[in-house]
Amino acid sequence: MSHYKPYPTYKDSGVEWLGRVPEHWKVSRLRFLAELNPSINKEVLADLDAEVSFLPMEAIGENGSLNLDQTRSVSDVRNGYSYFKNGDVAFAKVTPCFENGKGALFQGLVGDLGFGTTELTVLRPKSGTDARFLNYIVQSSRFRAFGAGAMTGAGGLKRVPDEFTRNFLTVQPEPLEQSLIADHLDNETAQIDDLLIKKTRFVELLREKRQALITHAVTKGFDPNTKMRESGIEWLGKIPEHWTVKRLRLIASVQTGIAKGKDITDKQTVEVPYLRVANVQDGYLNLVDVSTIKIPTEELDRYLLKKGDVLMNEGGDFDKLGRGHVWQGEIDPCIHQNHVFAVRPNQIQPRWLNAFTSSKAAQFYFMGRSKQSTNLASISSSNLMELPVPAPPDAEQLEILAALSEMSSRLDTLITKTELSLAVLKERRSALITAAVTGQIDLREAS
């Protein structure tokens, strides 16, 4: 932002975190700029059959995007949902949606009206407030940081209180200047958002290419001259002629994990670290936050992880089903919860099994055998043990894995670099918005 100029004169805002603001700007609480959570007008209820936009949380993006595909009748949504109309601003008040920046300026609503998730705080601009400027205030890093600090509640149910939003101290330029600032930010953020979309899609394509590479490696190998044969399994297709296909139960044992909440009264216990689904990612382990649990001492051996175990998630979101990594004894001792399987190979390389279970072929099997509900899926240990696993001889497994590691590491490097550039772009976007709506830069001539 070095090419932007500051305002000619500043004054002390009287607000410690806000610091100096342009001399001619007012400092106001947000309630003087907007009405919070306006009530439904009687006119809206006059036609209960009218179709209006309906927005669940997943229809609201992190950079102001909206999916307006869903509509409902007023009679279906008049009770139990947030209400808004075109020109209103809203942000998700619940964690982690608030921290992730979910929110929008409502435009293009069917019938000019909308209803949606109750986890929204709706702001209706008052006279003299530009809706776009108001939207950038609640997008700013200052509002997000202080809002996150003011959250009440516990765990995943923490929310930004309306009292915080009403009393949030912000700046209030004249309407024309608000409009000029919003014009400039509209232009600049649109360019950044376009880059973010392209880079995000590039990362998605790289991940798809990586998974396709893994799938090819563990079902076909890398030798183009190898004779192929039918595997006898429709979703697996042809495999190299000299490979075998065996059910997982014949080449590994499956250890289930401990369930929380067991009665340990009057039992000798030991407190040990245990792995949760959040710790077991696709291709790596996240051991930054490892919980501990007290269990009966006599049960420790039953749940202990051993080096070479292939950790696999029982389920959760569709993308978590079967994902995992090889345990290398990073924490000793350590056990696992019942939503994480420890698969212990005895006739196959752990890394080969881990690569296969992350392939599209195995994912197809998991999805076909899983119990499914909205956005969630889980697979039982009995179904997991019936997974057909193709495998070459040990020496060839190691050769393929070495080649796969080299090729996938190049893709991983490119993915990491692209994700870093995404983070820089998001930081730049946030910094520009914050600087503009707090008066750190003068955009009156920039637009």
Contact criterion met (CB below 8 Å) for 258 and 337: yes
Distance between CA atoms of residues 299 and 262, nearest Å: 12
The reply to whether 214 falls in a domain is no
Count of domains in the chain? 2
Verify that 157 and 266 share a domain, yes or no. no
Verify that 44 and 103 share a domain, yes or no. yes
CA 38 vs CA 85, 111, 164, 317, 349: distances in Å: 10, 18, 17, 35, 62
Verify that 355 and 232 share a domain, yes or no. yes
Verify that 239 and 354 share a domain, yes or no. yes
What strands lie across the sheet with 269-275, from one edge to the other? 291-296, 269-275, 335-336
Other C-beta atoms closer than 10 Å to the C-beta of 317 total 12
Verify that 238 and 158 share a domain, yes or no. no
Verify that 377 and 241 share a domain, yes or no. yes
Contact criterion met (CB below 8 Å) for 439 and 180: no
The reply to whether 407 falls in a domain is no
What long-range pairs does 70-78 form, CB within 8 A, spacing at least 24? 71/110, 72/115, 73/48, 73/49, 74/44, 74/45, 74/47, 74/48, 74/49, 74/50, 74/113, 75/48, 75/49, 77/52, 77/115, 78/40, 78/44, 78/45, 78/48, 78/115
The reply to whether 133 falls in a domain is yes
Verify that 234 and 309 share a domain, yes or no. yes
Residues in the chain: 447
CA 234 to chain CA mean position, Å: 34
Residue after which a domain boundary falls, among 358, 391, 424: 391
pLDDT tens over the chain, length 447 residues? 557 899 999 999 988 888 899 999 999 999 999 999 999 988 888 888 899 999 999 999 987 889 999 999 999 998 999 999 999 999 999 999 999 999 999 999 998 999 999 999 999 999 999 999 999 999 999 999 999 999 999 877 899 999 999 999 999 999 999 999 999 999 999 999 999 999 999 999 999 999 999 999 999 999 999 999 999 999 999 999 999 999 999 999 999 999 888 888 888 999 999 999 889 988 889 999 999 999 999 999 999 999 999 999 887 666 667 778 999 999 999 999 988 999 999 999 999 999 999 899 998 898 888 887 766 778 888 999 999 999 999 999 999 999 999 999 999 999 999 999 999 999 999 999 999 999 999 988 765
Helix (H) or strand (E) holding 83: strand 82-85
Verify that 39 and 168 share a domain, yes or no. yes
Range of the domain at 362: 222-391
Verify that 146 and 268 share a domain, yes or no. no
The reply to whether 124 falls in a domain is yes
Verify that 76 and 164 share a domain, yes or no. yes
Contact criterion met (CB below 8 Å) for 442 and 23: no
Residue after which a domain boundary falls, among 172, 188, 208: 172
Which CATH number covers residue 148?
Answer: 3.90.220.20
Verify that 168 and 232 share a domain, yes or no. no
